[in-house]
Amino acid sequence: RLVYPIRNLYGDIVNVGGRTLDPNWKEKNLRKYNYFYKWGTIDVIYGLFEHYDSIKTKHEVIVFEGAKSVYLADTWGINNGVAILTSHLNESQMKQLIKLGCNVVFALDKDVEIYKDKNIKRLCNYVNVSFIYDSKNLIDEKDSPVDKGEETFKQLYTDRFRYR
């Protein structure tokens, strides 16, 4: 497993996550993600503490589902990414994004239907929201926008849609 600390906005470690690196995790009946402490409601945004200054400087935050996507984007110099650690935005996370007061770009996995998320819809009342939608079929159904490499992500990012 890849193991990583999960920090709150103040830098305190509030949990430790682990993602399997075994490509056959389903066949072996392994969990894809494990957390040291059981989550009730995930009330943090992964990577917000680490990327806060860059987010404020760029006046934009890119929201992924998982920590792996944040790490991968970071290797390309995209250091304004965070993860909600699930496929939907909860109210606590929505409020944190509102407090940032910057543009929000959702880069969730391809199979997530952005328009069905009530908190993303509510977020639009406070900040500019856009999202990555793979209209050219550049990634597979369960992929994150970063899964096919830097150039594919940059194309998806460039072609993003404004949430209306």
Q: Which residue has the higher pLDDT, 2 or 150?
A: 150
* Torsion sign, CA atoms 49, 163, 109, 143: negative
pTM for this prediction: 0.92
Tokens of 44: 């943090």
pLDDT, one tens digit per residue, over 14-39 is 999 888 989 898 999 998 888 888 77
pLDDT, one tens digit per residue, over 76-104 is 999 999 999 999 999 999 999 999 999 99
Q: Please report, as a single letter, which amino acid is at residue 147.
A: D
- Classify strands 81-83 and 129-131 as parallel, antiparallel or unpaired: unpaired
126-138 b/e with 16+ CB inside 10 Å = b? Answer: ebebbbbebeeeb
